[in-house]
Amino acid sequence: MSKLRIYGIARTRAFRALWMAEELGLDYDHVPIEIGPAGARKPEYLAINPNGRLPAIEDDGFRLWESLAITLYLAKKHGQLYPTTLESEARAWQWSLWAVQEVDRGVNIWSLHAVRLPPQERDPQRRAEALKVLEAPFKVLEGALAGRPYLLGEEFTVADLNVAAVISRAVDMDLSATPRLARWLERCLERPAARTALALRAKADAEVPLEVTRTIARNNRL
């Protein structure tokens, strides 16, 4: 059996796949290719993911792309972190898809204009707009965490990983209006596997050319 291979630099959505692999204790190879012509648009990668996007995996000859599909597949294959009933499985899919649809862009824009761009290039208006957009979904998440430490109950699952991975760029955001969300996010990101994946992402963030970050900021609009 060949080793799992994860394609994509950790500052992309490959972060989710790397976190999941660490949670499951998998033996894997990380291929930290970049976005664009020098990486994800090269013919050899397009043979794996014809969309030219990150991440993708190869698992004993099986190829898969889309980060949520990857995390859900790995969790189910290895039996850990995956729900055990049809209803909880549906909830895991619900929260995973919800996070990408309702939260991902707002958090990304906020982090660009609060942390990732040089201070003189940050746009306070775009940061404020992102915070406004995030108010409603964060209230939804705050309500969902009432009386439970994790989204599906007492145990950390793939649902928590997928949602926390999206919100992880908001660790410096003021979350005092949603204290349950803040405590939940802290619990998720303090996990050893999360800390390993976060370290990989921090290294990738530190090495990214400024022009790449500027391009990401230009392309991210609410």
62-65 and 56-59 as β-strands: parallel, antiparallel, unpaired?
Answer: antiparallel
113 pLDDT higher than 70: yes
Cβ-proximal residues to 99 (8 Å cutoff; 6+ apart), any chain? 162, 163, 165, 166, 167
Binned at pLDDT 50, 70 and 90, residue 76 comes out as very high
213 pLDDT higher than 90: no
222 pLDDT higher than 60: no
**Per-residue DSSP letter, 49:** -
220 pLDDT higher than 70: no
Domains of the chain: 4-78 (3.40.30.10), 86-219 (1.20.1050.10)
Predicted pLDDT at 214? 72
CA dihedral (40, 11, 179, 152) positive or negative = positive
| Cβ neighbour number for residue 115 with a 10 Å cutoff | 16
Alpha-carbon span 2 to 75, nearest angstrom: 18
- Identify which has the larger pLDDT, 209 or 119: 119
- Identify which has the larger pLDDT, 211 or 198: 198
Tokens 């409603």 belong to: 136
Most confident of 110-114, 146-150, 213-217: 146-150
Average pLDDT, the chain: 93
Alpha-carbon span 118 to 34, nearest angstrom: 21
Tokens of 128: 């404020």
- Residues of the chain with pLDDT > 70, as a percent, come to 96
CB 8 within 8 A of CB 14: yes
Provide the angle, in degrees to the nearest 10, between the axes of the packed helices 124-144 and 104-111: 140
- Identify which has the larger pLDDT, 70 or 213: 70
Binned at pLDDT 50, 70 and 90, residue 166 comes out as very high
Cβ-proximal residues to 29 (8 Å cutoff; 6+ apart), any chain? 3, 4, 5, 6
The edge-to-edge listing of strands for the beta sheet with 62-65 is: 28-31, 4-7, 56-59, 62-65
Alpha-carbon span 167 to 190, nearest angstrom: 14
Tokens of 79: 């039996």
Predicted pLDDT at 217? 67
